[in-house]
């Protein structure tokens, strides 16, 4: 019993990636569906992933002078309608409260799909002088966007996120903020999620409703689809003008503030699953993992086995390593499968024969490598093993991007590559939305971003043959 039964329930990743993904979400107990369509339950293990991301980011935000606030859940409809582009982008997907305290409301309340208008309305009240700037606020909350097709963590009617909203005295400072926050997101990928991102600027068609420029971090999933994993926006003065957010500058003149907003969400959990996971389940990068080491005793009824397992546990805990000892009455094979399904980076097996030989077996989850260690060496080896695993997982993901990024200088090649299910294809672009639309119709691929390194790979847009203005990363995307 044990192992086989547990693993059997999971679809193979290469057979049906979408089903594999859903299986992992369910079997690793990350989430469950609720009775309200599109609204999911974040189970303890799934929520713990979000908490670890949240703690990491919150610390980065605070170190860079940001303050947390909490804005209301609802936006009166009249306030919501103030910034035209923004409304156009979000109105179709809002949920609306029309009844409160058994009475029909006089004004409908929009559940926040994002909180730009709430922050703007507040900033208009509290900003008067250049001395009040910059304002660098962030909030952790859930937002609601009505979605027809939903997938756990990737697209849902409700998701958890952080949204930063800042106001500055100069365009330069605001633009820097939008890029600085992109750096913080990249750092999160690099140092916590073991996910390398392709970064750049969104095209006009793909940018945020109301932004001047949208910057993005794009991750590449195992099925070669891209996942937009976070965005930062330079908003210019559009919102400031709609909401009258003015300040008296040092020279006495009244000016509009320059704004940014930026956010990442529980979608990052989806990225972690689809970048690192395999046919046995989740594979977690060590610093993100809620449990970093599973200790699994073999023949735990034999004298000394559980004692040694507990001793190991304590010595690892003393190093602040997150460790679990599975001393339940399940079989070791079953425990191995569970540990694999939950993606614990390291598993330590210790049984009577190991004790005799004064050793234990350590198995790395991400590549299944088995190493035999002297018992006395284990504890001090774990921190560097975790570090190595983190780096190897990052490198593997980076290599995957490199191997699945190609260039196209003519449109036939582009279409051929896209139909072969390539990852990213780099191609020059004229800047016309028509070409993006045609590409999407022909191949389902969309422009992911214009990378910061704009070294040209041709002179014309292969779609329309007009002069090329930008280098673009295209991919099919979630």
CB of 252 to a second copy, least distance (A): 17
**Is 286 buried (19+), middle (13-18) or exposed (0-12) by CB count in 10 A?**
buried
Q: Is 88 in the site for a second copy (CB under 8 A)?
A: no
Q: Which of 81, 141, 209, 477 is the binder for a second copy (CB under 8 A)?
A: 141
- Tokens describing residue 451: 């990378």
Distance of closest approach, residue 98 Cβ to a second copy, in angstroms? 5
Q: Which of 24, 118, 397, 422 binds a second copy (CB under 8 A)?
A: 118
Site string for a second copy, 45-74 (x = CB under 8 A): --xx-xx---------------xxxxxxxx
Residue from 75, 120, 182, 193 touching a second copy (CB under 8 A): that is 75
Please tell me whether residue 41 binds a second copy under the rule CB under 8 A: yes
Instruction: Please choose, out of 29-37, 237-245, 267-275, 411-419, the segment that lies near a second copy by the rule CB under 8 A.
Output: 29-37
Among 96, 179, 361, 398, binds a second copy (CB under 8 A): 96
Indicate whether 39 belongs to the interface with a second copy (CB under 8 A). yes
Which one, 34 or 421, has the nearer CB to a second copy?
A: 34
Question: Binding of a second copy at residue 322 (CB under 8 A)?
Answer: no
Nearer to a second copy, 92 or 304 (CB): 92
DSSP 132: G
Note whether 452 binds a second copy by CB under 8 A.
Answer: no
Judged by CB under 8 A, does residue 144 bind a second copy?
Answer: yes
Dihedral of alpha carbons 369, 370, 372, 375, sign: positive
63-69 own/partner pairs: CB under 8 Å, 24+ apart: 64/136, 64/180, 64/184, 65/136, 66/136, 66/137, 66/138, 66/164, 66/166, 67/136, 67/137, 67/138, 68/137, 68/138, 68/139, 68/140, 69/137, 69/138, 69/139
Residues 163, 138 contacting (CB under 8 angstroms): yes
CA-nearest of 102, 100, 122 to 111 is 100
Tokens of 472: 């673009």
Which range binds a second copy by CB under 8 A, 97-105, 293-301, 317-325, 454-462? 97-105
The residues, any chain, with a CB within 8 Å of residue 307's CB and separated by 6 or more, are: none
CB nearer a second copy, residue 151 or residue 415: 151
Give the Cα separation of 246 and 258 in Å (integer). Answer: 10
Return residues touching a second copy (CB under 8 A): 32, 34-36, 39-44, 47-48, 50-51, 67-76, 79, 91-102, 108-109, 111, 118, 121-122, 125-126, 131, 137, 141-142, 144, 146-148, 157-158, 160, 328
């Amino acid at each position: 019993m044990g192992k086989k039964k547990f693993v059997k329930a999971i679809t193979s990743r290469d057979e049906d990636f979408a089903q594999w993904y859903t299986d992992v979400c369910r079997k690793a107990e990350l989430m469950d569906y609720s009775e309200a369509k599109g609204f999911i339950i974040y189970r303890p293990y799934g929520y713990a992933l979000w908490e670890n991301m949240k703690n990491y980011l919150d610390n980065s935000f605070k170190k860079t002078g940001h303050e947390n606030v909490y804005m209301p859940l609802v936006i009166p409809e009249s306030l919501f309608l103030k910034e035209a582009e923004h409304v156009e982008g979000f109105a179709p997907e809002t949920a609306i409260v029309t009844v409160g305290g058994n009475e029909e409301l006089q004004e409908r309340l929009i559940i926040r799909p994002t909180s730009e208008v709430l922050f703007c309305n507040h900033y208009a009240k509290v900003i008067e002088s250049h001395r009040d700037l910059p304002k660098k606020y962030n909030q952790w909350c859930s937002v609601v966007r009505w979605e027809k097709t939903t997938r756990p963590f990737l697209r849902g009617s409700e998701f958890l996120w952080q949204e930063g909203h800042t106001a500055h005295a100069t365009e330069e400072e605001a633009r820097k903020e939008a890029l600085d926050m992109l750096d913080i997101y990249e750092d999160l990928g690099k140092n916590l999620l073991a996910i390398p991102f392709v970064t750049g600027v969104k095209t006009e068609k793909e940018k945020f409703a109301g932004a001047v420029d949208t910057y993005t971090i794009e991750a590449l999933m195992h099925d070669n689809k891209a996942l937009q994993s976070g965005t930062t926006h330079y908003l210019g003065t559009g919102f400031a003008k709609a909401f009258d957010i003015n300040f008296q500058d040092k020279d006495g003149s009244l000016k509009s503030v320059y704004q940014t907003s930026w956010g990442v969400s529980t979608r990052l959990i989806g990225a972690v699953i689809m970048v690192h996971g395999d046919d046995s389940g989740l594979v977690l990068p060590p610093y993100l993992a809620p449990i970093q080491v599973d200790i699994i005793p073999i023949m735990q009824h034999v004298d000394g086995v559980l004692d040694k397992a507990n001793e190991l546990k304590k010595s690892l805990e003393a190093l602040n390593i997150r460790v679990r000892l599975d001393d339940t009455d399940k079989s070791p094979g079953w425990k191995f499968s569970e540990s694999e399904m939950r993606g614990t980076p390291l598993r330590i097996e210790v049984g009577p024969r190991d004790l005799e030989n004064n050793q234990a077996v350590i198995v790395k989850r991400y590549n299944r490598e088995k190493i035999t260690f002297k018992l006395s060496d284990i504890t001090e080896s774990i921190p560097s093993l975790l570090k190595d695993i983190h780096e190897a997982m990052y490198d593997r993901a980076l290599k995957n991007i490199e191997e699945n990024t190609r260039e196209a200088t003519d449109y036939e090649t582009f279409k051929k590559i896209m139909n072969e299910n390539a990852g990213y294809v780099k191609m020059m672009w004229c800047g016309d939305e028509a070409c993006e639309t045609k590409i999407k119709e022909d191949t389902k691929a969309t422009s992911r971003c214009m990378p910061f390194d704009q070294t040209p790979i041709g002179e014309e847009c292969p779609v329309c043959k007009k002069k090329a203005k930008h280098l673009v990363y295209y991919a099919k995307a979630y």
